[in-house]
Amino acid sequence: MSQKILIVEDDAASAAYLAKGLGEAGHVIEVAVDGRDGLFLASEGSFDLMIVDRMLPGLDGLAMIGALRAAGIVTPAIVLSALGTVDDRVGGLKAGADDYLAKPFAFSELSARVDALLRRTDLRASTKQDNVLAVGDLEIDLLSRRVTRGGRAVALGAREFTILEYLARHAGQVVTRTMMLERIWNYHFDPGSNVVDVHIARLRRKIEEGASPILHTVRGAGYMLSAAG
Amino acid sequence: MRLSTTARMAALAIVLTLIAGLVPVAFLWRATHDDAIEVLRRDTGEQADALAATWRRSGLPALRDAVEQVRSSDDPAVVAAIVDRRGVRVAGAGPDRLTTPPAPGFRIERLAEGGSWGEREAGVEMRRVGDRWLVNGRLLDDWEAAQRTIERALALSALVSLALGIAGGLALTRYVTRRVDAVATTADAVAAGNLARRVATDGGDDAFDRLGLRVNAMLDRIERLMAELRLMTDSLAHDLRSPIARLRARAEAALAASDHAQREAALGGLITETDVVTRMLTVLLEISRSEASERSGFTLADPAEVMAAVADLYEPLLDEGGTSLVTAFAAAPPLLLHRELLSQAVTNLIDNALRHAGEGRTVTLRVLSDATAVRMQVEDRGPGIAPEDRDAARRRFGRLDPARSRPGAGLGLALVEAVARLHGGTLDLSDNAPGLIATIVLPRG
């Protein structure tokens, strides 16, 4: 099922670039060029996701999201902004955005975050919270915090368990390094070193030992937990 | 209607001057005033009534007799005369000719130009009797004359007070307006771009001078901030030049690449270089934001926990590189701090330690706490930084390795120092013999 995404961006070139990329990913795109238009379109509540530039003519992106939230419209929103310091990011999230991405960004980063947010709305709509997450033959028991692969127990540290849980909740989707830093460590800055990669490498060694690959590296984007190749 | 401040000030000055002028006048008047003049007026009126009654009852000849009788009495001050329309005396006691033609009513005036009647003023009542005029009354005595003088002086002084009040009010308003205008024109000039313009002060420690000095102090600060801002944007533009030059070189290489694999590699390098520039910009903004010292985003947290979380993030990386990580965290009561910026500062210090300490060495994360400060330390066993180089190391883009053989934008320690300053603390660099101890000192309270 294709999902409707509203892009609110005053820069025509950026909007076209986003619309093209997300359209190729199978989404239905509509573009608004300023905050007022965006507010008007989004207030129908028919979109599954909005991507909103923070600095818009007429009505500021965060103000637009604030107005929608006040009207009871909970369509998830990703804010794009040239303001990229830690305080800007945290402030944007506090203002009602569900995710915040500083410009310039890699398209793969945006795409991964779009998928994550669309999945989240899916989950909220359909299934209840499960005690056991299963990806192929990998099973994660959230209550006892035990992990098995093909029935065999895998011993994981507390941090490794958290990472695996996050990956499993987004199974089949690309998860980027910055997404993990934000969600798992609650850091909104880039540590510069490849710290996340090393965590993943450790985790991968443990869950793939004597079994088929399940934690894949997606080149130029991030990682994906997926049973299928 | 609301008066302007200037008009109200002028009005106030006028009223105050009037009060100041009129209060002593009023006192003097009260102290000297008695009923002498009033008695004169009443007596004269009664006498005039009696004479007029004589005229009505018995006609002009009887009246003439009556006034002639007054004339023959031995009081030379008494006036009782019949005059014609032009004021020429026909009968009775009084001047031969009045200075002003007769008109009905009581008045006090000098009746003649000279002679005994002209020596002093007289209070007289004038009545019309047929085609003649009855003038009766008497010359003022000394006391009455003195009182008249005082009254005239009082009236004059009231007039002078009023004039002075108006003049003083206007002068005061003009003065205040001029002094305020001096500040206003300076503000206008500064707003128009002349940042060096200052309010002229005369050193006489009055309110206007103090206002001028304050405004000047504010303008000094604005000018300094503007200069800092300009310096920052200039250096930013300068610092971005080299990474952008590298970007351009990569792009040109991609254009010139003949085969597909080469082009792929060059384009990949282009993206990596873009990420470097982006990261640099973010860090620079973070530094200048921290230096602007708005303490937003501060929460109460335990520095040891902040350090432990960073240790958790870096432990696998250090382990993988064969560096052993030693942690020693003293329990510290929570402090108001910016968790993310402090974490980022610590990661910068760890990255530095990893870059310089070499592989297979030890990195120690230590939190010390005492009554005055919390010290967050990152210690390595590398070559350290010579004391004379430590200032250069903190500078933006200050890199000690002249050949720039190792990667790094040279912003790491500058950010750490900015974060420490944001917390009211400092970044200390000291010798670990061998190695470097980088300490973020966070003062308590």
Per-residue pLDDT of B366-377, as tens digits, reads 999 888 899 999
Residue A160 Cα, gap to closest chain B Cα (Å)? 11
Which positions in chain B touch A198 (Cβ < 8 Å)? 316-317, 319-320
The model's confidence at residue B430, banded by pLDDT at 50, 70 and 90, is: confident
CB contact under 8 A, A90 and B271: no
pLDDT number for residue B403: 39
> What 3-state DSSP class applies to B301?
strand
The two beta strands, A49-53 and A77-81, are parallel
CB contact under 8 A, B312 and A159: yes
| CA end-to-end span of chain B | 54
**Dihedrals phi, psi of A75, to nearest 5 degrees:** -50, 125
d(CA B439, CA B374): 10
| 8 Å CB contact between B347 and A192 | yes
Which positions in chain B touch A178 (Cβ < 8 Å)? none
Tell me whether B272 touches chain A (CB under 8 Å): no
| 8 Å CB contact between B365 and B314 | no
Which positions in chain A touch B278 (Cβ < 8 Å)? 84, 102, 104
pLDDT number for residue B313: 92
pLDDT number for residue B404: 40
The model's confidence at residue B224, banded by pLDDT at 50, 70 and 90, is: confident
Note the pLDDT tens digit of each residue in B396-418. 655 444 434 344 556 778 888 88
pLDDT number for residue A127: 46
Which helix (H) or strand (E) covers residue B183, if one does? helix B142-191
Residue A162 Cα, gap to closest chain B Cα (Å)? 13
Single-letter amino acid, residue A185: W
Which helix (H) or strand (E) covers residue B270, if one does? helix B260-291
Q: What is the mean pLDDT of residues B199-212?
A: 83
Over 70: is that where the pLDDT of A126 sits? no
CB contact under 8 A, A90 and B297: yes
pLDDT number for residue B2: 61
Q: What is the mean pLDDT of residues A31-60?
A: 90
Residue A125 Cα, gap to closest chain B Cα (Å)? 33
Which positions in chain A touch B317 (Cβ < 8 Å)? 193-195, 198
Residue closest to A113 by CA, chosen among A31, A52, A54: A52
**Which structure tokens are listed for A184?**
């798992």
**Residues A31-37: contacts with CB under 8 Å, at least 24 apart:** A31/A6, A31/A7, A32/A6, A32/A7, A32/A8, A33/A8, A33/A9, A34/A8, A34/A10, A34/A58, A34/A59, A35/A8, A35/A59, A35/A60, A35/A61, A35/A63, A35/A64, A37/A8
Residue B88 DSSP code:
B
To probe the interface with A, which of B280, B285, B290 has the most A CB atoms within 10 Å?
B285
**CB environment B260-271: b (16+ within 10 A), e (fewer):** eeeeeebeebbe
d(CA A165, CA A96): 25
Over 80: is that where the pLDDT of A20 sits? yes
Over 80: is that where the pLDDT of B287 sits? no
Q: What is the mean pLDDT of residues B99-126?
A: 83
Q: Which residue of chain A is at minimal alpha-carbon distance from B298?
A: A87
d(CA A113, CA A100): 9
Please name the member of A106, A185, A190 whose beta carbon is closest to the beta carbon of B279.
Answer: A190
Residue B86 DSSP code:
T
Which positions in chain B touch A159 (Cβ < 8 Å)? 312
d(CA A162, CA A133): 13
Note the pLDDT tens digit of each residue in A186-196. 898 888 778 99
Q: What is the mean pLDDT of residues B321-344?
A: 87
Residue listed under structure tokens 């030379």: B76
Note the pLDDT tens digit of each residue in B13-62. 778 877 887 788 788 777 777 777 788 888 888 888 888 888 888 888 88
* Window 144-163 of A, Cβ < 8 Å to B: 159
Tell me whether B6 touches chain A (CB under 8 Å): no
Q: Which residue of chain B is at minimal alpha-carbon distance from A189?
A: B344
pLDDT number for residue B292: 66
The lowest-confidence range among A208-217, B120-129, B172-181, B396-405 is B396-405
User: Other C-beta atoms within 10 Å of B223: how many?
Assistant: 15
Tell me the ipTM for this assembly: 0.83
Q: Which residue of chain A is at minimal alpha-carbon distance from B279?
A: A190
Single-letter amino acid, residue A190: D
Please name the member of A104, A188, A192 whose beta carbon is closest to the beta carbon of B351.
Answer: A192
Report, in angstroms and rounded to the nearest whole number, the Rg of chain A calculated over CA atoms.
19
Over 90: is that where the pLDDT of B358 sits? no
DSSP characters over B362-430: EEEEEEEE-SSEEEEEEE--S----GGGHHHHHSTT--S-TT--S---S-HHHHHHHHHHHTT-EEEEE
| 8 Å CB contact between B409 and B397 | yes
Tell me whether A84 touches chain B (CB under 8 Å): yes
Please name the member of A86, A190, A202 whose beta carbon is closest to the beta carbon of B341.
Answer: A86
pLDDT number for residue A123: 56
Please name the member of B285, B316, B348 whose beta carbon is closest to the beta carbon of A199.
Answer: B316
CB contact under 8 A, A159 and B279: no
To probe the interface with B, which of A108, A198, A200, A203 has the most B CB atoms within 10 Å?
A198
d(CA B290, CA B296): 10
Contacts of A209 (CB under 8 A, 6+ apart): A154
- Percent share of chain B, pLDDT over 90: 8
CB contact under 8 A, A193 and B320: no
Number of A–B residue contacts, CB under 8 Å? 67
Over 90: is that where the pLDDT of B117 sits? no
Note the pLDDT tens digit of each residue in B246-257. 888 888 888 888
Residue B359 Cα, gap to closest chain A Cα (Å)? 15
Tell me whether A189 touches chain B (CB under 8 Å): yes
Mean pLDDT of chain B: 82
Tell me whether A205 touches chain B (CB under 8 Å): no
Strand order in the sheet with B132-139: B89-93, B78-83, B132-139, B122-129, B105-109
Tell me whether B278 touches chain A (CB under 8 Å): yes
Residue listed under structure tokens 């006489």: B204
**Cis amide linkage into residue B76, ω under 30° from 0:** no
d(CA A128, CA B46): 118
CB contact under 8 A, A201 and B320: yes
The model's confidence at residue A217, banded by pLDDT at 50, 70 and 90, is: very high
CB contact under 8 A, B313 and A191: yes
Q: What's the count of helices (H) and strands (E) in chain B, helices before strands?
A: 10, 12
pLDDT number for residue A51: 94
CB contact under 8 A, A106 and B317: no
Tell me whether A198 touches chain B (CB under 8 Å): yes
CB contact under 8 A, A86 and B309: no
pLDDT number for residue A110: 93
pLDDT number for residue A202: 93
Tell me whether B313 touches chain A (CB under 8 Å): yes
Over 80: is that where the pLDDT of B310 sits? yes
**Which structure tokens are listed for B103?**
């008109």
**Dihedrals phi, psi of B373, to nearest 5 degrees:** -155, 160
| CA end-to-end span of chain A | 23
The model's confidence at residue A153, banded by pLDDT at 50, 70 and 90, is: very high
pLDDT number for residue A121: 61
d(CA B343, CA B308): 10
